[in-house]
Structure 1
Amino acid sequence: MPKANYLAEFELLVMLAVIRLGEGAYGVPISREIEQQTGREVAFGTVYATLERLQEKGFVRSSLGDSTPERGGRAKRYFRVTPTGLRTVQETRQILIRLWRGLPELEGGVA
């Protein structure tokens, strides 16, 4: 079997949030989306560090929006998933499906 790209858990959560948010994907909404979907608190620094790593891997790209007065003149940095990133999300999903299929029924939380 050829080696597939695989995303770590938090990388996958960030990628899925970026995909769900579409053109509105920047730090704060990405963090909120992950918090809403998982019920766990997410630090902005962790999200940005993960986005940087994903960008280095070629899985996301970023662009700067217009600066706004409410942000002290700073521009928002928007993210989008690249075609390579989308393939990696799909490969990760397939790996997880195969792993789940190989498990016996879970009763009481233990296999």
Structure 2
Amino acid sequence: MKLHLGEFEEIVLLLVAANDKDAYGLTIANTIEKDLKRNVTLSSVHTALYRLEEKGFLESEVGGATKARGGRSKRIFKITSRGKQALETSRDTRNMLWDMIQKPSIQ
């Protein structure tokens, strides 16, 4: 079972998990730009979301249309148990690598 995540996929997956019931393309893109101070296009976020859904890390459903969105509906994403496993694997790998860095000795 392949659980590998690229760096951008990991960020998007973490944000879906953090936003729980309100994770959709625009909120994720805005969070990346505002909180992570990274330029991102909405299409790159959507590409990552759909790729993560194809891998079984996310599932989605279409939400209701709103006046604020000009009558358009939005696709809401939710992390799956497989997605949670992928994040745990990624975290464990990063922690293992960080632990490999020698810490300066205290004298």
Q: Is the 8 A contact 1:67 1:76 kept in 2?
A: yes
What number of residue pairs does the alignment pair up?
A: 104
The 3 A distance-change label for structure 1 pair 76 and 4 is closer
- Select 1:40's aligned residue among 35, 38, 41: 38
Q: Is the 8 A contact 1:4 1:91 kept in 2?
A: no
- Select 1:8's aligned residue among 6, 9, 23: 6
Aligned residue number for residue 109 of structure 1:
none
1:63 partner SS: strand
Give the C-alpha shift of residue 38 in structure 1.
1.6
Give the C-alpha shift of residue 4 in structure 1.
5.8
Identity across matched positions, percent? 37
Q: Is the 8 A contact 1:64 1:77 kept in 2?
A: yes
Partner deviation per Cα, 1:55-92 (whole Å, 9 max, x = no partner): 00000011111111232221011001001001110110
Aligned residue number for residue 63 of structure 1:
61
Aligned mates of 2:68, 2:31 — CA distance in 1: 22
Question: Structure 2, unaligned stretches of length 5 or more?
Answer: none
2:64 partner SS: strand
Aligned residue number for residue 72 of structure 2:
74
Aligned mates of 2:96, 2:71 — CA distance in 1: 48
One-letter code aligned to 1:18: V
TM-score (norm 2): 0.89
Pairwise CA RMSD: 1.6
